[in-house]
Structure 1
Amino acid sequence: MSLAPGSVRDSIVSYLSMIKTDASVKDIQEAVRLSIGGVSPSSVRSYLNLNTPEIFVRVSRGRYRLRDGDSERDGRQITGQPVIEIGKSKLYHSDCFEWLAQQRDCSIHAVVTDPPYGLIEYTKKEQTKLQSGKGGIWRIPPAFDGHQRAPLPRFTVLGDEDRKALYRFFKKLGALVNRVVVPGGNIVVASNPLLSHLVASAMCEAGLERRGSIVRLVQTMRGGDRPKNAHEEFSEVSVLPRSMWEPWVVFRKPLEGRVQDNLRKWKTGGFRRPSDERPFGDVIKSSPTPKREKKIAEHPSLKPQAFLRQLVRGVLPLGEGVVLDPFAGSGSTLAAANALGYESIGVELDQRYVDIARNAMPELSSIKIDPI
């Protein structure tokens, strides 16, 4: 099938615009293949050469970036120094997309993260409403059986444009992560039953392999409600099933050779077994985050250490390497890594959560959890 004139060039421009940094010819070729189908490597190289320096800049041997935006990138300090270093963990106060764009290829061994997959609920406007108890996109539910229910984002109100923005968000995340993670590295992303399919599709389009999901088996307070303003008339109806599980979508950067080759070279390519007798499973029994942990780290989507430590331990099959959480929040993933003796890096944009993480990380990591 013949391609439209300029489609290869446009595909390259689209990819480099998305990642906002330079990329290797190999990565560019893979991005073009995922975007428009099979194209010979020589065609991609020809387009790069023919359009340099008018559109592309050859940064070094086999690496290119867009010419546009040179002045903005020159001299810009994105990564800087970590604002917090506790144990083997480092936390950066930065936009994670900009931070990822500045990192070396193949410098991270695994990713475990709970991103703002609703996007809208983490804008400054909606976070201010949440802090003041006014709700907004966050639904502040009434007390239930004497217990105050935690705020929940209204994912069901997302429109078509919101979902398109969500797709672009995760495709960009997938492309950036695909570059910095080593071959065979695990990428585990928290989601929910309503949106996990979009997350999976977008990140696979960015070049990652989907490897299933890990189910956090926990009964949440999402769903199960009777019809609004008609709960007495339809008392036997639940509009949406009560959610009793939480999907963490599992991806892998494509292997380099066989699994055993990848393990020897990159220390990745699988999950760490809990014991010789028991393989790592895709269902982890959990409970809601304990009040003690919520008091230590005030974050609306804080996950319990008992769950996180099992997950973080598993993503490094040989117990070696660096775990990244690009949406670190109040540092719970980093705290879990510290408790395990793993190296970890977190990136958080919101200064409020960075400030919370400073004290929360050592406290969370010191919590005693029953052995896995």
Structure 2
Amino acid sequence: MSFPPGAIRDAIIEYLTVVASGATTEEIMGAVRVRLGEVPSSSIRSYLNLNTPTRFERLCRGRYCLREHVGEYKGEFVDRPIFPSETLGGARAFNADCFEWLAVQAERSIHAIVTDPPYGLVEYTEKETIKLRNGKGGIWRIPPAFDGHQRAPLPRFTVLDEADKVRLYKFFMKFGVLAKRILVPGGNVVIASNPLLSHIVSSAMVEAGFELRGYLARQVMTMRGGDRPKNAHEEFSDVSVMPRSQWEPWVVLRAPLEGRVQDNLRKWRTGGFRRISADRPFGDLIRSHPTPSSEKKIAPHPSLKPQSFMRHLVRAVLPLGDGIIVDPFMGAGSTLAAANAVGYRSIGVELDEIFFDMAKSAIPLLANLKVRNDD
């Protein structure tokens, strides 16, 4: 198979730009083949050898990085105490940039990822977070109060332009490359999204090397959509610009299997979803409700998901009940609390110090709550 001039070079450089702290020759080969298809190993090895040390640096036998990233190499990929952390029962929470944290973890050390990321990217920038905390709005829309209830702020993803969407794609491409390296074969990845952006999230993760396994529908009345035309609501009183959203999509992906499903389950304990019971499989439609006020008081995070839903989801992603779940965008710790509640080990990573401190106090309290089961 022939490739356009520079295709192998561009694929190698793009991957090593994402994995700044270095990668093995085998990892580089895998990343190049995800992008280009079957590429001879000799072509990749030759390019690395011919361009070392001018473009690449050989960190140790069989491991390379871009020369401009030499200072970012942290030695062997192990969980080392370079980030502030807290142990909370079976959970461990890190205050760190998740990309930096993912880059220094051991290969094939994690069994599942469950996360609700900042999939609009802009809503959790420092500028927009300050506006949110000061009640100033910004990209966060404050829904009107009615029927006696005050609604939580919602990010307005309709304001994203094409450049924002390109950045979103690149964000999840980078996340996917890093996540695929640390997941064992067959490991599940479940990512919260919304109907406007889920296609971008899923396509970027597939390009990073994951298998798309479908979508979970969290059936819940949201405050998205259903509005009349802005500044013309009386003129077009019978028109809604968008349907009122009554569900939330969660993208379901899987790291490629090693052999058949049963082979993967025997070796890695992953490759499917844990059944609810012997005669009831885990389903892709999950009835839910907005996060109760009792949970929001414990963890006043704008994207907090209810424990009833999170426990149902978290229990399912480890098919044999064994392994470690990671939430790279931990927020207030609802994933880790759910893992503690069902008896799983988990790790969370959160960049924002305020949310990290919130999670430290919230995780034990959320985990101990008795919750109603909507499903």
How would you bin the TM-score normalised by the shorter chain? Answer: over 0.9
TM-score (normalised: structure 2): 0.95
Residue 288 of structure 2, aligned match among 274, 279, 286: 286
The match for 2:302 is: 300
Deviations 1:53-85 (A, max 9, x none): 32223334433222222134468x985255211
Which amino acid is 1:17 matched to?
Answer: T
Which amino acid is 1:127 matched to?
Answer: T
Q: Distance in 2 between matches of 1:276 and 1:60?
A: 50
Q: Distance in 1 between matches of 2:101 and 2:208?
A: 18
Q: Distance in 2 between matches of 1:19 and 1:252?
A: 20
The match for 2:4 is: 4
Which amino acid is 1:341 matched to?
Answer: G
Deviations 1:315-335 (A, max 9, x none): 000000000000000111000
SS of residue matched to 1:368: coil
Q: Distance in 2 between matches of 1:287 and 1:234?
A: 31
Residue 176 of structure 2, aligned match among 159, 174, 177: 174
The match for 1:16 is: 16
Q: Which runs of 5+ in 1 are unaligned?
A: none
The 1:269/1:65 distance shift into structure 2, 3 A limit, reads: same
SS of residue matched to 2:369: coil
Q: Distance in 2 between matches of 1:34 and 1:214?
A: 25
Q: Distance in 2 between matches of 1:71 and 1:129?
A: 35
Which amino acid is 2:238 matched to?
Answer: E
SS of residue matched to 1:20: coil
Assess if the C-alpha contact under 8 Å between 2:123 and 2:140 holds in 1.
yes
Assess if the C-alpha contact under 8 Å between 1:79 and 1:94 holds in 2.
no
| Shift of residue 129, structure 1, vs aligned partner | 0.8
Task: For 1:129-168, list aligned pairs within 5 A.
Answer: 129-168=131-170
Assess if the C-alpha contact under 8 Å between 1:78 and 1:94 holds in 2.
no
RMSD: 1.8
The 1:69/1:260 distance shift into structure 2, 3 A limit, reads: same
Q: Which runs of 5+ in 2 are unaligned?
A: none
| Shift of residue 37, structure 1, vs aligned partner | 3.6
The match for 2:206 is: 204
The match for 1:360 is: 362
Give the stretch that moved more between structures: 46-55 or 147-156: 46-55
Task: For 1:44-63, list aligned pairs within 5 A.
Answer: 44-63=44-63
Assess if the C-alpha contact under 8 Å between 2:21 and 2:69 holds in 1.
no
Residue 253 of structure 2, aligned match among 251, 254, 257: 251
Q: Distance in 1 between matches of 2:240 and 2:22?
A: 50
The percentage of aligned residue pairs carrying the same residue is 64
Give the stretch that moved more between structures: 171-180 or 133-142: 133-142
| Shift of residue 150, structure 1, vs aligned partner | 1.6
Q: Distance in 1 between matches of 2:45 and 2:336?
A: 40
The match for 1:327 is: 329
Residue 232 of structure 1, aligned match among 234, 242, 246: 234
| Shift of residue 232, structure 1, vs aligned partner | 1.2
Assess if the C-alpha contact under 8 Å between 1:213 and 1:247 holds in 2.
yes
| Shift of residue 144, structure 1, vs aligned partner | 2.5
Residues 1:30 and 2:30 are matched in the alignment: yes
The 1:173/1:357 distance shift into structure 2, 3 A limit, reads: same
SS of residue matched to 2:68: coil
The match for 2:82 is: 80
Q: Distance in 2 between matches of 1:209 and 1:278?
A: 24
Q: Distance in 2 between matches of 1:83 and 1:296?
A: 20
The 1:357/1:53 distance shift into structure 2, 3 A limit, reads: same
Which stretches of structure 1, 4 residues or more, deviate above 6 A after TM superposition? Answer: none
Q: Distance in 2 between matches of 1:205 and 1:79?
A: 32
The match for 1:315 is: 317
SS of residue matched to 1:346: strand
SS of residue matched to 1:69: helix
Deviations 1:260-279 (A, max 9, x none): 11111111000000100101
| Shift of residue 12, structure 1, vs aligned partner | 0.3
Deviations 1:124-158 (A, max 9, x none): 11111111111011111221233222211110010
Assess if the C-alpha contact under 8 Å between 1:140 and 1:150 holds in 2.
yes
